Structure 1
Amino acid sequence: MRIFPWLLFSLCATSVYGQIVVTFPPARMVYQRNQAGDTKVYVTGTYIQAVDKIEARLTTRNGEPGSQVGWTEIASPSGNVFSGFLTATGGRYNLEVRGIKNNVQVENTVSVEKVGVGEVFLIVGHSNAAAAESEMVGANSDLVNSIDAMADMNLRNQYLNSGNADDLPPLQPTPLCQTCGIAPMGEYPWFWSRLGDLLVNSLQVPVLFYGAAFGGSNMGSFYKSAYNLPFDHGFIKYSIRMPYTNIRNAMNKYVPRTGIRAVLSGHGVNDLDTTRAGFVFRSEMVMAKSREEANYPKLAWMIATSCYNDGVKAEITAAQNDLIDPSKYNFRGADLNQIDNSGRYDKLHFNADGQVRAAELWRDAIMSETTNLMANAQPLMAQPPTVPGPPLPVTLVSFDGKLLADGRSELEWVTTSETNNDHFEILKSTDAVHFTTIGNIQGVGDSEERSVYSFTDESRDVKVAYYRLKQVDYDGTSSLSKIIAVRAGERKPEDYVFPNPAEHHLEVVTDNGTTVEDVILFDLSGKVVLRKSKSNQIDISSLQKGDYLINIKMNSGQLVSKKIAKR
C-alpha cells in the first residue's frame, strides 16, 4: 500500500521518479563490527520502475581502510520497496545501489558516501573531561564521528526541557569537530576527539561516539533516575529522568541502527558521598538497567579508575577495582588517577595536557593485550532498519471538508505531483471505522503541476460525517488518505481517535483546516511510552496490551485527552 505524505511536504525532494532511492543508511554511517571484524551493512530503499532484483556494492575510498565488496544481489524487490544487506569488513566505503531488469541496469546507480564498518562507543561520566573551549580540538581524522547535539539549538533546548528522544538529532553522523557536540548530551568534543584519532590510527577503522555524560552528575543520580527514585539537584532535572535518560535514549534511538562495542564510564570524582559498597551498588544497578533496556545482557562496560580531586580517594578506587570482572562483561577502563595536578587546571578538570593524557590512557585501556577488548567484549550488533513506506505516486498536500448552508458536505483536495494516478474514490463513514464508497473522481495520470479536486456529498442526514480518499493507480494498487470530519454539531473526545480498542494502529481524525501537532501516549502511571509529531497515524504495535492515556495537540491549539486500549 502506498501512503500519502501527510504534513511532510518536502519528503519527495529526495526522490526522483524512475530512480532508486536509498532510505538507509545515511552518509557517514558507522556499523559496529563483530569479534571476527565484519558486519552486515543493511540497506533499504524504494524504486518506481519495475526491476527483477536490487544489487549493491561497496567501493573503497582513496587513502582509507577497507576491502571492496563487488556487486551483490541484496533483495528481490516487492511492492516498490527493498531491504537487504552486504557483509563487509572494517573500513570505510562508498555504497552503490542499482536495479536490474532482464539482466540490464535500470536507470542510474545511486551512491551513499562514507559508509563505515568500525567501532561504536557510548560515553558516560561528568565534567572532569572539561577544559577551556580554546584548549579543545576537533579530530584530525575524518573517520572520527559523532551525532552533533549542538547542530540545531532549538532542538537542543527542546531536548534539555523534555528529555525525549524525539527531540534529539536524527541519526546523521558528522565529523567530530572542535565545536561539535556528542549526542544525546555532550556539548563539546572534550578529549574524545583526541581518543578517536588514536583509535583510528591503532585500529584502522572509523569510530563513532555517543555521549551520555552530564556535568555535575554522579553514579548516584544516574542510579536514581534510572529507577525513578526522586532526588533534588540544583540543575539536574529528575522530572525528565536526567541524567540516565541519555543512556536510555542513545540505546533506543541510535544504537539499534549502529550497534555498539562498549560503554566508557568515567564516574567516581563526584561519588564521594558514598562508600566503597555504595559505589559498587550504584554502578551495578545502572549497568543492569542499561543491559535490561538494551535487551542485551552482554553489553560491555569499561570502568575507569577515576576519582582524582587534588588527590585520590582510596575507597572509590577500590570500588572501581571491585567492579572489574570480564565474566560479567565489566572491563578495566582508563586509569585516569595517573593524571595529577599538572594535568588539571583546577586540581580536578583536565587542561590541554591532561586531555592528551586522558585520551592516551583510554586508548591504552581499549588496546590493552590484557583486557583484549576486541576479542572479549561481545558487541551489540545493529538490527535491520524498518522497511520504508513505498514511493509516493501522488503528493497530496491538503484534504479538507466543510459543511454548506444547506447541510451538504463539500470536499476539496490538492495534489502537487501525480504518477500513474488513475482515480480517487471518496469514502464516507458515520463512525470513522466502516467506510463505503460514495463517489469517484478521475485523476490526471502524470503531472508535476498543482491539481485541485472537489466533490460534494449530497446527503444531509448526519451531524458528523467522516471522509477519506482512496487513490488508485492504473495497475490497481491503492493507498488511503487520513480521515477528516465534517460536522454540524459538537464533537466529543472519543470522536477523534479510531479504532478503540486498537491492535496495531490508531488514526487521529481532524476537523476542516486542522492538523495534528503532537501526540503523546502515557501509561496509567504517567510515564511517556510513545510520542509522535505531525502525523495522523500512530503505530502502537510495540506497546504492551492494556490501557493508555492519549493527549493530542492540534495546530489550532485545541487539546484532546482520552483513554485508549491496546489489544
Structure 2
Amino acid sequence: MKTSRLWIFSLLLLFPCLLWGQMTVLHPFNRLILQRNLFNQADLVISGYTNVAATKIEYQLVEIGKPAKGWQILASNVLNHEFSGKVKVNAGFYDLYIRAWVNSTIIDEKIIEQIGVGEVFLIAGQSNAMGVQGLGSKDASERVIVINDLNKYLDEKENLTIASNEPMRLHKMERALANTNMYPSGESSWLWGELADKIVQKYQVPVFLLNCGWAAATSENWSKSANGELAYNQYVNKNWPNQQPYTNLKNTLQYLASHTGLRAVLWMQGESDAAHNQTSAQNYEANVKNLIEKSRQVFGYNMPWSIARSTVSSRNEWADLVIKGQNSIIKNVPNTFAGPETDTIQNPRPITHGHLENVKNGIQGLTLAATAWMRTMDTTFFKKAVPYQPQSTLVPRLLPAHLPFGRNFAIYFQGITNQNKIYRVELLDKDGKFVAQIGQGTSNPIVVNIQNVSPLEVYRLRIVSDAPFLQSTLSNTFTLSGSWTPLNQFTLAEKIDSLQLNWSYVEAYSPSKITVQYSNNQQSFTDVYTENANNTLEGKWTVIRPKEVFSYYRLKLILADGSIVYTDTKLVIDYSQVLGVENPNLSVKIFPNPTSTYFVIQGVNDVRQLQLFSSNGQEIVDIKSNRVGDEYVVEFSETIQNGTYLLRLQMANNQTLYQKIMILK
C-alpha cells in the first residue's frame, strides 16, 4: 500500500507548479465500500469542483498492495468548475487519486483512501445480532469497514433504549475493531467482524457492515413497529419511542444502503420468542414475513434476506416452535435464504448474560457462529442472492458560496430518472447531519426556501426520492445570507504597487454582467470596471494601489432575471501612510500605548465614528467605547491577539485621525 502511494507522489515532484487547494472532491470519501453486482463490478461516481477553469480531470484507482496502472480521463475542459463522472470498478480495495490540470500544469491532486467494491450486509435481530462489548470480539482486518457511531442511547432513568427517527448519513467510516460500534445500533465487531474477514479471505473483496440489532426485541416488536405502532418492551413494561426497532432498519436501508448498495439482510433473532413468549410457528412466520415485506416496500427493492435458526439464550422453552417458524419463512417467503443453525453453538450459553462469547481459554462462541454463517455463504448464495445497486446516483450542481436566507432559490442536480418521482431537498450541517427538509418537486430544478435555521452555520444539501429510494452525493458547503451572490470565490490579492481582484461564479446562476465598484468611505461606491459573463465563469481586475488610507472594493452583479446583488466588501489599508509616524495632531492624546485591555482618548470633543483594524485589514467589532467626562474609554475583548492595530477616528467636523495601537498582554 505504501509503495504505490510513494511512487505516485514521487512522480508528482516532477511538477514544480502545483497549486494545492485548487480542487475539492465531494465524492467518494475515505473507506466508502460499494456493493458489487453479479458481474463483480459497481459504478463509482467521482464528483467535485475546482477553483479555476481546468482543462482536464484525471483519476487513477490503485489497488492496495499492487502497482499503479495509469491515469484515466474523467472530464475535459471543466470550464464550469464542476466535474462529475461515473466509472465502472472491478471488485477490490483501492486508493483513488484525482488530479486537475490547467493546460500542461497540474494544479492539484487528492487521494481518497481505502475505497472498495465488495459486499455490503445489513444485520437485524436482537442482542445476539446486535453484539455486546467485552465478550471476546476481535479486531477485523482493514478491509472490514463499519460506521463507528450509534443512533441510540440508554435512558438510565427509564431503563429504555432511545433512538431518533431521522434521516441518516454516511460518516465515521472506520476499520471494524473489537470495541468499535457498528451503526446504527451494533455494539462491537461481534461475530460479524470475524464473518466479514472470512468473506475477505475467500472472495478477496472488502466488506461493509451495518447493524440494526435491537436488544430484547421480539418478532412481534419488529412487526408492530413496521406497521407504525409502538413496540412494547416486555422486560421493562414500557414502549420504545419512534417506532423502534423498525425505523432504524428503514432509515438504514433508505439513507445508507441506497447509496452503497446491499447484498442481503442477515436476520438473527428468536431468543426472546423462545425464552419468554409461547410464540406459535404461524405467528413467528407472520411477524417476520410482515417485516420483510414492509422493509422491501419502503426500500423499493426485493432485497434478499438470510434467516438464521436461532433461539438459545439462558432459556429456550419454546425453541421448537420458533425454529419451525424460521424454517417456514425460508420455505415460503420469496428471495429468502437459509442462514446457520446456531443453537448447537455454545449451548448452554453463559448464564450471566445468555449471549455468545469468545471465552478466554474456553469455548469460542463468536468464532464458531461466524464460521456457521460463513458455511451458508457459499457459491450458490452469492449467485442467487441478487444484490441491490442504485439505479442512479443524484449529484447536486455546484452551489454558490452563499445562498439566500428566507427566499426562494433553485437547486439544480444531475442523474434525474425518467420515472415520475418526487425529489426532496434536505438541508444538512457541514458534516452531513440532517437539519430540515426545505423543498420538493418533480422536475429539475427544485425550488427551495431555507428559513427557521441559524444563518450563522455552514450547511450542505442532499436530494432524495422514493420507490426505489435514491439519494444524492452531498453538495459543496455554503452559508446563508440576506443578500446572496452566484459566486463561489471572490478574493483580493495585494502586491507592492497594485491590487488584483479575482472572482468565479457558478454556471447555473451565472450573472449577465459584473461591475467592480470602489469607495474610500464605504458609503458611496463608483463603478470602475464592467465586463459580461464568459464561458470560463471567472474574471479578474488589476489596479494601481490607490493613494487613500482606506480603499473598499465590491462587485455588483446583474443576474439573468435583471435583479442586482452585491458581494461583501474588501478593505485595503495603506499602512505606509499611518504606521510610520505617530498622530501629528498633538491636541489628541491616546494612552496607554502599548496597552493590554483598554486605552483612553483625550482632546476630542465629539467622535462620529471609531474603528479598530488588525494588520490584515479586518475590523475588530468586539470593542466598547464610552465617554467619561472629557475622555473616551475604549475597551476590547480579552480574546484580542497581541499585535499592531490601526485606530481610525472620524470627528464631527469630518476630520479623520489615524493612530497606531500596540497591544501587548
Same fold by TM-score, threshold 0.5 exceeded? yes
User: What is the identity, as a one-letter code, of the residue corresponding to 1:364?
Assistant: R
| Residue 367 of structure 2: aligned partner | 356
- Deviation string, structure 1 residues 287-335 (Cα, Å, up to 9, x no partner): 01111111112x0000001112445721211111111149811011121
Q: Is the 8 A contact 2:489 2:504 kept in 1?
A: no
What SS is found at the alignment partner of 2:190? coil
Distance 1:455 1:248 in 2: 57
What SS is found at the alignment partner of 1:418? strand
| Residue 91 of structure 2: aligned partner | 90
Matches within 5 A, 1:272-291: 272=274, 273=277, 274-291=279-296
Give the drift of 1:106.
3.8
Give the drift of 1:423.
11
Q: Does 1:317 align with 2:327?
A: no
Q: Does 1:418 align with 2:420?
A: no
Residues matched between the structures, number? 410
| Residue 264 of structure 2: aligned partner | 262
Q: Is the 8 A contact 1:276 1:318 kept in 2?
A: yes
Q: Does 1:302 align with 2:306?
A: yes
Distance 2:488 2:539 in 1: 19
Tell me whether 21-30 or 268-277 shows the greater mean CA deviation. 268-277
Give the drift of 1:441.
8.7
Give the drift of 1:364.
1.2
Distance 2:144 2:350 in 1: 25
Give the drift of 1:443.
6.4
What SS is found at the alignment partner of 1:302? strand
| Residue 117 of structure 1: aligned partner | 117
Q: Does 1:45 align with 2:51?
A: no
| Residue 220 of structure 1: aligned partner | 220
- Deviation string, structure 1 residues 136-161 (Cα, Å, up to 9, x no partner): 3343311111111259989xxxx965
Q: Does 1:28 align with 2:35?
A: no
| Residue 378 of structure 1: aligned partner | 386
User: What is the identity, as a one-letter code, of the residue corresponding to 2:223?
Assistant: Y
User: What is the identity, as a one-letter code, of the residue corresponding to 2:82?
Assistant: V
Give the drift of 1:271.
2.1
Give the drift of 1:108.
2.4
CA distance 1:478–1:385, shift in 2 (3 Å)? farther
| Residue 80 of structure 2: aligned partner | 79
What SS is found at the alignment partner of 1:113? strand
Q: Does 1:61 align with 2:64?
A: yes
Q: Does 1:192 align with 2:196?
A: no
Distance 2:57 2:558 in 1: 21
Normalized per residue, the structure richer in helix is 1
Give the drift of 1:453.
7.0
Q: Is the 8 A contact 2:123 2:129 kept in 1?
A: no
User: What is the identity, as a one-letter code, of the residue corresponding to 2:311?
Assistant: C
CA distance 1:219–1:132, shift in 2 (3 Å)? closer
Distance 1:412 1:80 in 2: 23
- Listed as ranges, the gaps of 5+ residues in structure 1 are 1-15, 401-410, 425-436, 445-451, 457-471, 483-567
Distance 1:391 1:354 in 2: 52
CA distance 1:387–1:137, shift in 2 (3 Å)? same
Distance 1:142 1:87 in 2: 23
What SS is found at the alignment partner of 1:135? coil
Give the drift of 1:69.
6.2
Distance 2:345 2:58 in 1: 52
CA distance 1:256–1:137, shift in 2 (3 Å)? same
Distance 1:82 1:31 in 2: 21
Give the drift of 1:165.
3.0
What SS is found at the alignment partner of 1:26? coil
| Residue 564 of structure 1: aligned partner | none
Distance 2:198 2:523 in 1: 64
User: What is the identity, as a one-letter code, of the residue corresponding to 2:120?
Assistant: V
Q: Once superposed, what is the RMSD of the aligned Cα atoms?
A: 4.2
Q: TM-score, normalised by structure 1?
A: 0.63
Distance 1:396 1:137 in 2: 50
Matches within 5 A, 1:123-202: 123-129=123-129, 133-150=133-150, 161=162, 163-166=164-167, 168=168, 170-202=170-202
Q: Is the 8 A contact 1:94 1:112 kept in 2?
A: yes
Distance 2:43 2:86 in 1: 6
Give the drift of 1:52.
3.8
Give the drift of 1:345.
4.5
- Deviation string, structure 1 residues 366-398 (Cα, Å, up to 9, x no partner): 1x35xx121111101145544245265679999
What SS is found at the alignment partner of 1:163? coil
User: What is the identity, as a one-letter code, of the residue corresponding to 1:287?
Assistant: I
| Residue 387 of structure 1: aligned partner | 395
What SS is found at the alignment partner of 1:360? helix
| Residue 496 of structure 2: aligned partner | none
What SS is found at the alignment partner of 1:164? coil
- Listed as ranges, the gaps of 5+ residues in structure 2 are 1-18, 155-159, 359-363, 406-453, 457-481, 492-500, 506-510, 526-536, 541-556, 566-665
Q: Is the 8 A contact 1:29 1:172 kept in 2?
A: no
Q: Which has the higher contact order (CA 8 A, sep 6+)?
A: 1
Distance 1:389 1:455 in 2: 36
Identity value in percent = 25
Distance 2:398 2:267 in 1: 42
